[in-house]
Amino acid sequence: MGSPYSVGTWGSCGGSLSGGAVHVVSSQMTHKLNAIAAHFLQASPDDIEPRDDLAFLRNDTGHNTSLNPSDIRELSSELR
């Protein structure tokens, strides 16, 4: 007994299409999170370094200034 015919996601075609979309969206999201963190850390977005689920201020001389995702979410609602 066979299974009913279905085109499904067309195998690897679905993976290659959705994989590209995930990459684009994650890049956009990282850019936005860096911009929000930079605003509240009073820095340039280029000075923000995402690491270990935190946004760190790059070249921070011993202050360990960082924001976690929940801080960024809360602070971003203040910008609206």
CA neighbor of 68 nearest in space, from 44, 50, 43, 47: 50
pTM score of the predicted model: 0.63
Cross-strand partners of 66: 56
Whole-angstrom Cα distance, residue 7 to residue 36? Answer: 42
Domains held by the chain: number: 1
Q: Which domain holds residue 24?
A: 13-78
Q: Is residue 46 part of a domain?
A: yes
Q: Is residue 5 part of a domain?
A: no
Q: What is the pLDDT of residues 20-44, one digit of tens each?
A: 888 899 899 888 888 888 888 888 9
Whole-angstrom Cα distance, residue 44 to residue 13? Answer: 39
Q: 11 vs 18, which has greater pLDDT?
A: 18
